[in-house]
């Protein structure tokens, strides 16, 4: 299947990044290193925080080493807060709207999407 990763900040959207296949912990770590963090670095430099839900241990270790305690997540340096429209606007608005639009024709490949 086709997957999409997108981030949201006060400066606007980060991504979207499109990819095919299953998202394993290693695939996600590769995405952080090659796509997501370079885009965040370009927008914010070193003054950034990262909010993330459940993560495998090797991804948490990478976040600890890279962000030096400036990330929020389960078992992270700052504990993940309850779900809130203020903290997760992508979940409460963007993904539902995009899915309604995209799944009208059910794209099977990145080119179709």
Q: Could you tell me if residue 94 is inside a domain?
A: no
Instruction: Say if residues 2 and 18 touch (Cβ distance below 8 Å).
Output: yes
Mean pLDDT of the chain: 76
Domain range for residue 20? 2-89
Does the pLDDT at position 70 exceed 70?
yes
DSSP per-residue letters across 48-96: --EE--S--HHHHHHHHHHHTT-EESTTSSBPPPPP-TTT-HIIIIIHH
- Whether pTM > 0.85 for this model: the answer is no
Residue 50 to residue 16: CA distance in whole angstroms = 16
Q: Could you tell me if residue 56 is inside a domain?
A: yes
Residue 42 to residue 23: CA distance in whole angstroms = 24
**Cβ–Cβ contacts within 10 Å for residue 28, how many?**
18
Structural domain count of the chain: 1
Tell me what percent of the residues of the chain surpass a pLDDT of 90: 2
Q: Could you tell me if residue 13 is inside a domain?
A: yes
pLDDT in tens, 17-60: 888 888 888 888 898 899 988 888 888 776 666 666 666 767 77
Q: Could you tell me if residue 58 is inside a domain?
A: yes
């Amino acid at each position: 299947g086709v997957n999409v990763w997108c981030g949201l900040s006060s400066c606007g959207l980060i991504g979207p990044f499109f990819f095919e296949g299953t998202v394993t912990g290693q695939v996600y770590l590769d995405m952080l290193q090659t796509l997501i963090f370079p885009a965040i670095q370009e927008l914010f430099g070193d003054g950034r925080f990262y909010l993330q839900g459940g993560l495998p241990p090797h991804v948490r270790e990478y976040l600890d080493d890279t962000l030096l305690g400036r990330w929020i997540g389960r078992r992270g340096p700052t504990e993940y807060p309850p779900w809130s429209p203020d903290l997760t606007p992508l979940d409460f608005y963007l993904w539902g709207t995009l899915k309604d639009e995209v799944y009208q024709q059910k794209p099977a490949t990145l080119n179709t999407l």
